[in-house]
């Protein structure tokens, strides 16, 4: 059909550049300058010529940025709890929950990578593996899943090794929460208060009893009650992320061994059995 009777007007569907919008960045910092986008966007360097390797790299690089932010927020949460500043602590803990929701969603994107397409470049990864993620291990240590053996993976990166060693030897988020219970007047066993913080936390009956009292009297202990639920939010979202990670790996490589030498899916499943705040789940049975 001829359109000669309808002259085309390109301006009808055009947004004009407003007069005050800045366009000259010769002497001013731009958006790209502020975010150092030249460095960020040039960091994707596929080792193969396979199309899907770019997806694989970007998913993992962006995940590392989210992990870095989660660690930043949890460090602030510890600082706030030491100062009994509950409001800001709640805020950053809630933010960590949302970060893990975002991270979980990223596995849905990676799951569009088919087994056949992944195998085309998997060998190019060598021994590199997400198990070696400094950001992930930092979160585990901050949340209390301590294991000194995990430091071995980072012995060739002095900065990462030193940071993780410091966290290994420092109280975790849950250690600070239990100290808050003590300040609120609850009796906690000395074996908990004086425990070796380099070891993974183990459930204790005195902590169960303290949380039971908090849940039975939420009006009296509202801040502790709210804190407990924020912690459960973190574990819930973290475990969903772990599960989706495991399931995505299973979907793409089945039960092959991991590139870093682990058993793969079987190893990832074991992480689902680890609880950061065990008493907060035990208390639900007792209510």
118 assigned binding-site residue: yes
DSSP-assigned letter for residue 191 = H
Q: What is the per-residue pLDDT for 15?
A: 86
What's the total number of domains in the chain? 1
Tens digit of pLDDT for each residue in 137-161?
999 999 999 999 999 999 999 999 9
Mean pLDDT of the region 11-26: 86
Q: Which residues contact 267 (CB under 8 A, 6 or more apart)?
A: 258
Q: What is the per-residue pLDDT for 18?
A: 87
Dihedral pair phi/psi, residue 42, rounded to 5°: -100, 5
57 assigned binding-site residue: yes
What percentage of the chain has pLDDT greater than the value 90?
92
Enclosing domain of residue 67: 48-284
What CA–CA distance (Å, rounded) separates 41 from 245?
Answer: 25
245 assigned binding-site residue: yes
pLDDT band at 8 (very low <50, low <70, confident <90, very high): low
State the chain's mean pLDDT as an integer: 94
Q: What is the CATH number of the domain that holds 64?
A: 1.20.58.480
Q: Would you say residue 155 lies in a domain? A: yes
122 assigned binding-site residue: yes
Taking the complete model, does pTM exceed 0.85, yes or no? yes
What CA–CA distance (Å, rounded) separates 93 from 77?
Answer: 7
pLDDT band at 185 (very low <50, low <70, confident <90, very high): very high
Q: How far is CA 8 from CA 11, 15, 195, 271, in A?
A: 9, 16, 77, 62
Tens digit of pLDDT for each residue in 64-107?
999 999 999 999 999 999 999 999 999 999 999 999 999 999 99
Dihedral pair phi/psi, residue 274, rounded to 5°: -90, 125
Quote the longest CA-to-CA distance of the chain: 89
60 assigned binding-site residue: yes
58 assigned binding-site residue: yes
- The continuous run of DSSP H or E covering 226 comes out as helix 222-253
SS3 140: helix
pLDDT band at 3 (very low <50, low <70, confident <90, very high): low
Question: If we measure between CA atoms, which residue out of 38, 193, 48, 16 comes closest to residue 119?
Answer: 48
Tens digit of pLDDT for each residue in 97-127?
999 999 999 999 999 999 999 999 999 999 9
Q: Would you say residue 25 lies in a domain? A: no
Tens digit of pLDDT for each residue in 167-178?
999 999 999 999
């Amino acid at each position: 059909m001829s359109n000669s009777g309808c002259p085309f007007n390109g301006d009808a569907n055009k947004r004009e550049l407003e007069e005050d919008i800045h366009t000259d960045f010769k002497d001013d910092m731009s958006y790209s300058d502020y975010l150092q986008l030249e460095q960020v966007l040039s960091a994707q360097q596929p080792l193969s010529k396979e199309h899907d390797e770019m997806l694989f790299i970007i998913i993992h690089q962006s995940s590392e940025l989210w992990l870095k932010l989660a660690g930043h927020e949890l460090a602030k949460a510890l600082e706030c709890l030491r100062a009994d500043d509950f409001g800001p602590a709640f805020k950053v803990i809630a933010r960590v929950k949302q970060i893990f929701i975002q991270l979980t969603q990223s596995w849905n994107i990676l799951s569009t990578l088919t087994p056949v397409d992944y195998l085309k470049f998997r060998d190019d990864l060598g021994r590199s593996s997400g198990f070696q993620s400094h950001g992930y291990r930092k979160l585990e240590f901050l949340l209390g899943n301590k294991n000194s053996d995990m430091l071995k993976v980072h012995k060739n990166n002095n900065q990462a090794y030193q940071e993780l060693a410091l966290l290994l030897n420092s109280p975790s988020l849950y250690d600070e929460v239990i100290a808050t219970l003590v300040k609120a007047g609850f009796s906690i066993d000395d074996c908990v208060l004086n425990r070796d913080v380099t070891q993974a936390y183990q459930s204790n009956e005195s902590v169960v009893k303290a949380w039971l009292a908090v849940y039975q009297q939420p009006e009296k202990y509202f801040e502790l009650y709210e804190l407990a639920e924020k912690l459960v939010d973190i574990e819930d979202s973290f475990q969903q992320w772990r599960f989706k990670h495991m399931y995505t790996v299973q979907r793409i490589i089945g039960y092959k061994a991991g590139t870093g030498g682990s058993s793969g899916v079987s190893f990832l499943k074991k992480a689902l059995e680890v609880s950061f705040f065990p008493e907060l789940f035990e208390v639900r049975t007792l209510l």
